[in-house]
Amino acid sequence: MSKGQKIYQIVMLVIITALISSLVTAIVVNERLTSSTSIEKIAEGDGVTGIETRLAYIRTMLEEGYLGELDDTQMLEMAIKGYVAGVGDEYTTYYTPEEMNEQYETAMGNYVGIGIYMVVSYEDGTITVVEPMEGSPALEAGIKAGDLITKVDGEEVTVDNASDMSNKIKGEEGTTVKLEIKRDGETFEVEVERKRIEVSHINSRMLEDNIAYIQVTDFDGGTAKEFKENYQELKSQGATSLIIDLRDNGGGVVDEAIDMLEMICDKGSTLLIETDKKGNEIVEKSKEDPIIDIPIVVLVNGNSASASEIFAGALKDYNKATIIGTKTYGKGVIQTLSKLSDGSGLKMTTAEYCTPSSNKINKIGIEPNITVELPDDIEELTDENDTQLQRAIEELK
């Protein structure tokens, strides 16, 4: 590495505050950050204060005393991650170019990984397997719904790193990840190969009494289209009522939930109210005539979050569906994912949303019309012992 290149990288590191600001604006500005400030002036604190001076001092200490090599690219990325984490919002995150690519791939339904739906709890630092995908490496490895992932490649999952650990489970096709699993009080390890998986967002079937059942596992790209196709197929088979199962659906792309609401709510209806930092309101209204005109029950639980709550909340406000289950998670804020000029990205909370009746959701959740708990002693959920599903069927008979 040339001396000039090294100086450039050092400057990039020590002016991290300026870099953060420029990265945020890089959403619309596609220029490289350059600086002609000399290292000596920064070290002396000439014209800079706070974090820049402290980083320069730490940099000098590392250069003079650290035994190993310094990787400026990695140090820069970790510095940015730490800076953004300092906001204190669990949903605001900086992504490296590699992580950003994974985010887009997953959001568009192109998934490479072990094939699990999981819930990350930021309160107690746990990763819980909701369900392994059909035909996935996780299913082949014996991973089951309800399993707790306690370690990823030997690193323990904690409150501070739960989000990073969930991302670490993903990775390049053909690579493996070693997971420590806790199940029924016992702990064991499995090694799972990551593969490309064709993601389906919908499971559907016909129940008794011509009741259509559609489970929506997430709201990632393509969900609304898949939902519509499944509904139309069941309607052609004679469906006269509908159960939409959003239990353990942690959300996804808000527009997918809006597109699904347009199939049910009247044209011109308010579907969502968003309020940004400046108090500006954005009101999402239905632009299409509804295609679903049969009785609906929506199943929810404590893991139904974000886009699931937008969907259930709007239908509850308009009495378009009966909500059955337990209170939802309570994530009533929207994140904007912005790709920056170097391929990295910033996901940040940009708005709070309310239901059409201006009911807040964040930290509150959606209360069901009919509260039904699942029995505590269920080992494997079936139609027969699923008390929430059975109550939904009873409601629609």
pLDDT at 49: 54
Helices (H), 66-178: 72-85, 97-107, 137-140, 162-169
Rounded mean pLDDT, 299-306: 96
Regarding whether 243 and 162 lie in a shared domain, the answer is no
Total domains, the chain: 3
Residue 93, domain member (yes or no): no
**Percent of residues, the chain, with pLDDT higher than 70:** 86
Q: Is 104 within a domain?
A: no
Q: At what angle do helices 223-236 and 254-261 cross, to 10 degrees?
A: 30
Print the domain residue range for 380: 202-396
Please identify, among 31, 54, 86, the residue that sits at the C-terminal boundary of a domain.
86
233 and 193 in one domain? Answer: no
More confident residue, 223 or 36: 223
Q: What is the pLDDT of residue 39?
A: 32
Q: What pLDDT is stored for residue 217 in this prediction?
A: 93
| Predicted pLDDT at 179 | 96
280, with CB counted inside 10 A (0-12, 13-18, 19+), is exposed
Q: Structure tokens of 27?
A: 């959403």
309 and 177 part of one domain: no
